[in-house]
Amino acid sequence: MRERGFSIARIPGFGVVAALTFFLLYLPIVTLVVFSFNEAASLSRWGGFSLHWYETAFRNAQVRDVAWRSLWLATVAAGLATTLATMAALATTRTSRFKGQTMIYALINQPLMVPEIVTGVALLIVFAAIRVQTGYYGMGYLVLAHTAFCIPFAYLPIRARLETMDLTLERAAADLYASPWQVFRTVTLPLLLPGIVAGFMLAFVISLDTVVITEFVKAAGQDTLPTWMLGQLRRQVTPELNAIATVFLMLSVLAVTVFFILSRRRP
Amino acid sequence: MAADGTADVETRARRDGAAAGGTAEIEIVGLTKVFGRGSEAARALDEVNLTVRRGEFFTLLGPSGCGKTTLLRMIAGFEQPTRGAIRIDGRDVAGLGPNRRPVNTVFQSYALFPHMTAAENIGFGLRMLGRPRREVEAKVAEMLRLVRMEPMANRRPAAISGGQQQRVALARALAPRPRVLLLDEPLSALDLKLRKEMQGELKRLQAETGITFVFVTHDQEEALTMSDRIAVMDRGRILQVGSPRAIYDRPADRFVADFIGDTNFLEAVVVRSVGDAATVRLPSGAVRAASVPEGLAPVAGGRVTVVVRPEHAALAEDGELVGVVEEAVYFGTDTHLHVRLDTGGRFTLRRQNMAGDHAPEPGAAVTIRIAESGLRVLRP
């Protein structure tokens, strides 16, 4: 233990506050998971263990439909966002400093600063105009909106990885007769890959989770899992929602774990 | 390890070439590098002219910040010169990227690719040159043998020691058989014992391959023991180029004399000066002959600084300098005597320890005799 210096852990009541925080944070999630295995149709009264609600959720064509849409959207949007974020990260770290670099950095991270509702409304207005002009009502709008929203989440881990990467490695490759493209393909990209996968995972989870923007942008019949679940709340609520949320939770935990492991691995 | 017959002959031919003045491998003319702009501009290299001969072990020696690494990086192609030209094997390399120069680098940090095995690292250059797979494999095997790393061929850099990484880095840079190998303080990360071992290893590799080595170091002992020729640099300029012996025995100016080895400086007055010889009067009044750097013609009556190496002076019954021992430092094989001269100033001399004798104690009055040709006039 260090003798001197400020330690927040020694403030009276710190332990209690910490315990309470974790309790409040995780109790609802634990409750959710527990009641997903409820035999009864109640969210508050325990009626014995059963996988019944997982079965009904799985058999529900509507759930399958929106779940696939969510996964498809998250995969495509995260893929696009990661590609763009990789290019942006390379352009902001592997070039000599240029005028307006800080502004570009702020622009890339804009979705982190601007409230989602503002982005949602803005997208609604622009996309409505485009819809009228072109008559196109497909998934393109959602893909575009999710991609833009996910870029900073993919960008940050990729950039962090690039910044810790030893520049002499790229020099060494160039010195050994690799053209700029070969340097990228044989040295930069393989070493950057954990960062890219981490960025993809994070973007994937964010897209899977987004409600506000989807709500504003989606056309009829384009519900994703979160917006569909939100809609269900207005009707009768059964532990089926718990079951879906639990599966969802597991998927997110898995993705975040992969992200965590990959972003910790040293280059 | 003895090289095979043909390599030996080739090496000797290259060596003889170098010794006889040789063909120029690298020619540097008026090279200047300025970093930054306006008031923040820093001159890293200032009108550098230099010729490195084919097949020689050439060392750039100087303190950190003297421009030696900048010069190396410009030869490699990592930095572009502000002014001046670099020719490698007679060809101007201005505007050519590092991947298009017949030069390979051993980096201070080794810069081995962490995601490749030792063998893959060594074969990288040849793969990028598009050599057939069979040729790459054969060359990698040869290189692994050359640096005695065969058992480690399939290990990643993280799984081998620092000295082994060093060998892999060397093999990787030598595998494409460049015209010139650039070495950027490659031994500085190794401990003393390993460093000595690698110094020998580098000399052996250079002899066996016959490739021109340009070696950057701030370690004067390393430079003296390994090089065919040394260029001493300070503040972006080359102060003197010559064999280790010439640099040590006949330094051109105060910086070179001071940077390499231990040195005594004495103020003297020129009595007579003819060509590269002069006669000077020391503060004690003694008049002695001294050698003079090329191109420097001291004027009779002018004040100059002369330099004497500690081992070029000895205690004697009768000599040019008189003083009192201040301190005697025992070094095993010899003792360093720090003497305060009667005429002012200090003088250090190195005295070999003999069986049964003992060096003068502090406080003893001594007379010092400077060896024949032990005096050298420095550039002002």
Domains of chain A: 61-264 (1.10.3720.10)
| Distance in Å, alpha carbon of A188 to nearest chain B alpha carbon | 10
- Tell me the ipTM for this assembly: 0.79
pLDDT category of residue B125 using cuts at 50, 70 and 90: very high
Q: What torsion, rounded to 10 degrees, do the Cα atoms B87, B91, B92, B96 define?
A: -110
pLDDT of residue A88: 92
Q: What is the pLDDT of residues B254-312, one digit of tens each?
A: 999 999 888 899 999 999 988 888 999 998 888 989 988 888 888 888 899 999 999 88
Say whether A179 and B113 touch across the interface (CB within 8 A). Answer: no
What's the confidence (pLDDT) of residue B85? 94
Q: Which are the contacts of B17, defined by CB distance < 8 A and separation ≥ 6?
A: B23, B53, B54, B55
B125 and A174 in contact by Cβ < 8 A? no
What is the pLDDT at residue A50? 86
Give the percent of chain B with pLDDT over 90: 59
Tokens 């009502």 correspond to what residue? A137
B379 pLDDT tier (thresholds 50, 70, 90): confident
Instruction: Catalogue the long-range contacts made by B90-99 (C-beta closer than 8 Å, 24 or more residues apart).
Output: B90/B24, B90/B27, B97/A174, B97/A180, B98/A171, B98/A174, B98/A175, B99/A174, B99/A175, B99/A176, B99/A177, B99/A178, B99/A179, B99/B128
Phi, psi of B122 (to 5 degrees): -65, -35
* Averaged pLDDT for residues B171-195: 91
Scanning every residue of chain A, which has its alpha carbon at the shortest distance from the alpha carbon of B116? A187
What was the pLDDT predicted at B281?
A: 92
Verify whether the Cβ–Cβ distance B128 to A267 is below 8 Å: no
Yes or no, beta carbons of A174 and B111 under 8 Å apart: no
3-state class of B153 per DSSP?
coil
Percent of chain B residues past pLDDT 70, beyond the cut: 94
Mean pLDDT computed over every residue of chain B:
88
The alpha carbon of residue B375 is apart from the nearest alpha carbon of chain A, in Å, by 46
Give the one of A174, A186, A190 whose C-beta lies nearest to B97's C-beta. A174
Q: What is the pLDDT of residue B175?
A: 95
Residues B212-249 have pLDDT tens digits of 999 999 999 899 999 999 999 999 999 999 999 999 98
* A-chain residues near B97 (CB < 8 A): 174, 180
Query: What counts of helices (H) and strands (E) characterise chain A?
Result: 13, 0
Q: What are phi and psi of B284, to 5 degrees?
A: -75, -10
CB contact under 8 A, B104 and A166: no
With CB atoms and an 8 Å threshold, state whether A186 touches B124.
Answer: yes
pLDDT at residue B17 greater than cutoff 50: no
In whole angstroms, give the CA distance from residue B135 to residue B139. 6
CB contact under 8 A, B176 and A176: yes
Least-confidence region, from A24-38, A139-153, B10-24, B195-209: B10-24
Contacts of B107 in chain A (CB under 8 A): 168, 171-172
pLDDT classification of B21: cutoffs 50, 70, 90: low
Q: What is residue B23's predicted lDDT score, i.e. its pLDDT?
A: 86
The pLDDT, as a whole number, for residue A3 is 56
| CB spacing of B111 vs A172 below 8 angstroms | yes
Cβ separation B176–A166 shorter than 8 A: no
**HEC readout, B321-339:** EEEEEEEEEECCCEEEEEE
A171 to chain B: nearest residue by CA? B78
Asked if residues B178 and B25 have their Cβ atoms less than 8 Å apart, the reply is no
Q: Which of B78, B99, B115 comes nearest A177 by C-beta?
A: B99
A17 touches chain B (CB under 8 A): no
- Bigger pLDDT: B337 or A263? B337
pLDDT value, residue B7: 44
Count of beta carbons in the 10 Å neighbourhood of residue A168: 17
Give first-to-last CA distance, chain A, whole Å.
32
Query: Taking CB atoms and an 8 Å cutoff, what residues of chain B touch A177?
Result: 99-100, 125, 128-129, 176
- Smallest Cα distance from B124 to chain A, Å: 7
User: Is B99 in contact with A179 (Cβ distance < 8 A)?
Assistant: yes
The pair of structure tokens assigned to A128 is: 């409505």
Q: Tell whether A55 is within 8 A of chain B (Cβ).
A: no
Give the global pTM: 0.79
What string of pLDDT tens digits covers the 267 residues of chain A?
455 677 887 888 888 999 999 999 999 899 889 888 988 887 778 888 888 889 988 888 888 999 999 999 999 999 999 999 999 999 888 777 777 888 888 888 888 888 989 989 999 999 999 999 988 888 999 999 999 999 999 999 999 999 888 889 999 999 999 999 999 999 999 999 989 998 999 999 999 989 999 999 998 889 999 999 888 888 777 888 889 889 988 988 888 888 788 777 654
Average pLDDT rounded to a whole number, residues B5-14: 43
Contacts B173 to A, Cβ<8 Å: 175-176
Determine the Cα–Cα distance for residues B293 and B307; give it in Å rounded to an integer: 12
The partner residue sitting opposite A168, judged by closest CB among B107, B172, B173, is B107
Please indicate whether, in this complex, the C-beta atoms of B128 and A177 are within 8 angstroms of each other. yes
Assess whether pLDDT exceeds 80 at residue B358: no
